Amino acid sequence: MDKNSNAYTFIFAIAMVIVVAVTLSFTATSLQPMQAENVRQEKMQSILSTFVGDSVTIDGQKQELSRSVASKIYDDFILEELTLDNKGDLKEGENAFQVNLAKQLSLEEDKQTFPLYVAEFEGSRFYVVPLRGTGLWDAIWGYVALKEDANTIEGVIFDHKGETAGLGAEITTDWFQERFVNEQIYNESGEIVGVEVVKGYGGGDNKDDNKVDAISGATITGDGVSKMMENRLKHYKPYFEKVKKSGKVATR
Amino acid sequence: MEDKKIKNSEENKSEKKKEMIMFLSSSEEKEHFLSKANRKILSDPLDDNNPITVQVLGICSALAITVQLRPAIVMSLAVVFVMAFSNVIISLLRNSIPSRIRIIVQLVVVAAMVILVDQILKAYAFDVSKQLSIFIGLIITNCIIMGRLEAFALGNGVYKSFLDGIGNAAGYGLILIIIAFFRELFGSGKLLGYEVLGHKGATLAESTGLYALGYENNGFFLLSPMALIVVGVIIWVQRARNRKLVEEN
């Protein structure tokens, strides 16, 4: 057959596309369960690490909080997974762990579902709020653990899809996330403003001003973190107010 | 009679010569795996024909992923894999690819390899895959890969194409790692995440190592233009050392 004929070209193209498509879809389908499990375990690891830290003591043995360890101990520490609406009431029939924040963000505020994890660790109670927003190039997300007063931050964890390595991607590092510890999310007038990432911050270790120092060269990612914290956290205010009034966590 | 004899012996000689030539050429066909020519295919792209500093290809990713050493190393390994195997596949298909759609065929092969790598990493090496994030997808757009498929794999045998892929990816990776070394060292005072220059505290008193002497990191090294300047310096050093690369006029 003439290699330059139209028929040959078409047949070659079709055959190639079929072979490649079959190979790729076979790989993707057969690996999908493992990938999904990795993602699930990583989510558990992220949620736990905001208040547990990098390592955890199980049966007297100190272990690194790896993905597999996290998935084992997740149910021991997470008391409740709540889904709320923006008035602070419980939404029935939804699984907080399965809520896709990326999809929720595209909805109107009164239609969104706000997941909240209530945890207990070493005798104290923590509220873990999932965050999601946009950085410079793509999505950024994270979890923030609040202490029992629903105001002081116990710990945060951030992650990103495609921020610049060495600049915006540094939001995933411990030294940046440690800056948020013990910061307050309420401002002086009692509104939730989150924590702002400020360039050239001179406040040192001041924990009362809702501000932390930014990463040089990562201004837009830092602004994204500030916006993400404020935009997500403020919707939990009605719920936190209710809890404070009643003195206990509303349960199902 | 004597003349004939002489002629005969001469003919014999020439026949022997022919045999010798035949023998030599057949031994050339059964070339040794790491013969001189093959070694040259492997080593040429490291220096004389380096994809980045001589062919000036793949500059884009040299800017993007050289802020830190670790992603640069993992990226180099991924490129070695993708390049070697797409070269092999294209070389296997080289006699049946219709020339009018050869670029599309190359693109499909590279894209398929990259997706394969990405999927496997996500399942078996989740942490590495997270570290590389978007860069793994960006391998598709690496001009070196397309360049080598077009220039080498389409016209050469499978084994040679394999060597060429490894050589060029290594030449690319070498420059990437050199740039990343300097950028991470001067930009953030670290190598592979370790603080090799000492710890920079909030004040001079809390700092150790060089930072205690008042040393500051050069933030300019974190920005892309510095990668180009480092590439420039590497080219300068390379040409000063390797006179072959210097143009006559």
> Has residue B33 been placed in a domain?
no
> Has residue A140 been placed in a domain?
yes
> Has residue B167 been placed in a domain?
yes
pLDDT at res. B5:
54
> Has residue B118 been placed in a domain?
yes
Angle between the B224-241 and B158-188 helix axes, to the nearest 10 degrees?
A: 120
Tell which of B222, B224, B226 to mutate to test the A interface (max A CBs under 10 Å): B222
Confidence class of residue B39 from pLDDT cuts 50, 70 and 90? confident
Per DSSP, A163 falls in state P
> Has residue A148 been placed in a domain?
yes
Query: What are the tens digits of pLDDT across the range A31-88?
Result: 999 999 998 999 999 999 998 888 887 777 787 888 888 888 888 888 888 888 888 8
> Could you give the dihedral angle defined by the CA atoms of residues A9, A10, A12 and A15, in that order, rounded to the nearest 10 degrees?
170
pTM (whole model) above 0.80: no
pLDDT at res. A252:
42
User: B109: which chain A residues are within 8 Å (Cβ-Cβ)?
Assistant: 20
HSE at residue B86, side-chain half, CA atoms within 13 A, is 33
- Mean pLDDT on B14-33: 53
- Mean pLDDT on B43-72: 82
Percent of chain B with pLDDT over 90: 16
Give the max Cα distance, chain B. 106
The strand pairing partners of A184, in sequence order, are A152
Predicted confidence (pLDDT) at residue B186 exceeds the cutoff of 70: yes
Whether the Cβ atoms of residue A139 and residue A130 lie closer than 8 Å to each other: no
User: A9: which chain B residues are within 8 Å (Cβ-Cβ)?
Assistant: 98, 100-101
Confidence class of residue B17 from pLDDT cuts 50, 70 and 90? low
Whether the Cβ atoms of residue A242 and residue A90 lie closer than 8 Å to each other: no
- Domain coverage including residue A90: 80-246
> Has residue B149 been placed in a domain?
yes
Whether the Cβ atoms of residue A131 and residue A92 lie closer than 8 Å to each other: no
pLDDT at res. A245:
80
Residues whose CB is less than 8 angstroms from the CB of residue A59 and which lie 6 or more positions away in sequence, other chains included: none
User: A4 vs B126: CB contact, 8 Å cut-off?
Assistant: no
Number of domains composing chain A: 1
Distance from C-alpha of B33 to C-alpha of B149, rounded to nearest angstrom: 21
Confidence class of residue A189 from pLDDT cuts 50, 70 and 90? confident
pLDDT at res. B14:
56
The strand pairing partners of A121, in sequence order, are A124
Distance from C-alpha of A206 to C-alpha of A185, rounded to nearest angstrom: 13
User: A16 vs B105: CB contact, 8 Å cut-off?
Assistant: yes
> Has residue B168 been placed in a domain?
yes
pLDDT at res. A107:
87
Nearest to A4 among B96, B98, B183 (CB): B98
How many CB atoms lie under 10 A from the CB of residue A223? 19
A156, two tokens? 């945060």
Percent of chain A with pLDDT over 90: 33
More confident residue, B80 or A243: B80
A24, two tokens? 């790729």
Nearest to B184 by CA among B173, B197, B172: B197
pLDDT at res. B28:
45
> Has residue A4 been placed in a domain?
no
pLDDT at res. B24:
46
Q: Determine contact: B105 vs chain A, CB below 8 A.
A: yes
State the smallest CA–CA distance between residue A52 and chain B in angstroms. Answer: 20
Predicted confidence (pLDDT) at residue A208 exceeds the cutoff of 70: yes
The whole-chain average pLDDT of chain A stands at 87
Confidence class of residue B27 from pLDDT cuts 50, 70 and 90? very low
The phi and psi torsions of A154 (rounded to 5 degrees) equal: -85, -40
| A158: three-class secondary structure by DSSP | strand
- Mean pLDDT on B105-109: 91
| B32: three-class secondary structure by DSSP | coil
Number of H helices and number of E strands within chain B? 10, 0
Confidence class of residue A105 from pLDDT cuts 50, 70 and 90? confident
State the smallest CA–CA distance between residue A246 and chain B in angstroms. Answer: 42
Nearest to B67 among A34, A67, A166 (CB): A166
Query: What are the tens digits of pLDDT across the range A120-174?
Result: 888 888 999 999 999 998 899 999 999 988 889 999 999 988 788 778 888 988 8
Q: Residues 151 to 180 of A: which have CB under 8 A from any B CB?
A: 160-162, 164-167
Give the least confident one: A18-27, B88-97, B155-164, B191-200: B191-200
HSE at residue A67, side-chain half, CA atoms within 13 A, is 13
pLDDT at res. B92:
92
Predicted confidence (pLDDT) at residue B170 exceeds the cutoff of 80: yes
Query: What are the tens digits of pLDDT across the range A27-42?
Result: 999 999 999 999 899 9
Predicted confidence (pLDDT) at residue B48 exceeds the cutoff of 60: yes
Predicted confidence (pLDDT) at residue B26 exceeds the cutoff of 60: no
Whether the Cβ atoms of residue A156 and residue A180 lie closer than 8 Å to each other: yes
> Has residue A227 been placed in a domain?
yes
> Has residue A105 been placed in a domain?
yes
Contacts 24+ apart (CB under 8 A), A100-104: A101/A130, A101/A131, A101/A132, A101/A141, A102/A132, A102/A139
More confident residue, B10 or A2: A2
> Has residue A9 been placed in a domain?
no
Give the max Cα distance, chain A. 83
Number of domains composing chain B: 1
Nearest to B98 among A3, A31, A67 (CB): A3
Distance from C-alpha of B215 to C-alpha of B208, rounded to nearest angstrom: 10
User: Rounded to whole angstroms, what are the CA distances from A246 to A240, B195, B249?
Assistant: 10, 49, 85
Nearest to B123 among A4, A35, A67 (CB): A35
- Mean pLDDT on A114-124: 89
- Mean pLDDT on B187-198: 81
β-pairing verdict for A211-213 and A196-198: parallel
- Domain coverage including residue B219: 63-245
